[in-house]
Amino acid sequence: MKIAVVGGTGDCGQGFVKRWAKEHEIIIGSRKADRAEETAKELTSFLKERGVDARIKGMDNGGAIEASDLVVLSIPYDFVESMTSDLKESYTDQIVISPVVPMARVEKHFEYTPPAQGSAALLVKDLLPSSVNLVAAFHTISYAALQDLDRTIGGDVVIVGDDPEAKEVAANLVRIIKDLRPLDGGPLKVAAQVEGLTPLLLNISRLNKVKNAGISVVKS
């Protein structure tokens, strides 16, 4: 599968690339193609030293989206419009994964600040063609932990969306990352419940000195 990681030059995007490049072809997207190409070379070299013959290339965002089967919007909330409506013609029938969280720091804590649609995922749905299969996932994974391939990331990833097959594709990407478990969280309309976990975890981390906090669902 060809996966475009839009925002793939950033910390979170590079984490996805490092974790998935062993099994999938990765296209790093950036506003500047040369920056994406440089990051692709760096990550290819990094993974080769670890025995992984990765297939990674860099392109501008539009080209990366057009060439992909699946798009990951590894971007800050402020860039959602430029990566969706401004590039709408680049999308066809891809699966799109949104880990985007609208939030703000207020005094010494973080708050969830959703748009009028109710969640970032529902905003993305409004901005993209109806042919796209949108899934929201990966909101509770630490960027630092994702990048550190020597670190085993335990816990659960909640996936929400309206297309069962698209959710299963996202679940298989979760399973590639050792000891992570995908959980079906329901339809896309409940995405706010999942996105809101990110500021909660950041507050827990800061107030309780818990590094790289995540979630695990347990039986009681």
Q: Which of 178, 186, 188, 108 is nearest to 141 (CA)?
A: 178
CA dihedral 68, 143, 98, 39 (to 10 degrees): -30
pLDDT at 152: 86
pLDDT at 80: 95
Ordered strands of the 70-73 beta sheet: 56-60, 25-30, 2-6, 70-73, 95-98, 133-136, 155-161, 180-186
Element (H, E) at 143: helix 143-147
Distance CA 73, CA 7 (A): 7
Q: Does domain 2-208 have CATH number 3.30.830.10?
A: no
Give domain limits for the chain: 2-208
pLDDT at 185: 98
pLDDT at 144: 87
133-136 and 155-161 strand pairing: antiparallel
**What tens-digit pLDDT sequence spans the chain (220 residues)?**
999 999 999 888 999 999 999 999 999 999 999 999 999 999 999 999 999 999 999 999 999 999 999 999 999 999 999 999 999 999 999 999 999 999 999 988 999 999 999 999 999 999 999 999 999 999 999 888 899 999 888 899 999 999 999 999 999 999 999 899 999 999 999 999 999 999 999 999 999 999 888 999 998 8
Element (H, E) at 159: strand 155-161
pLDDT at 16: 96
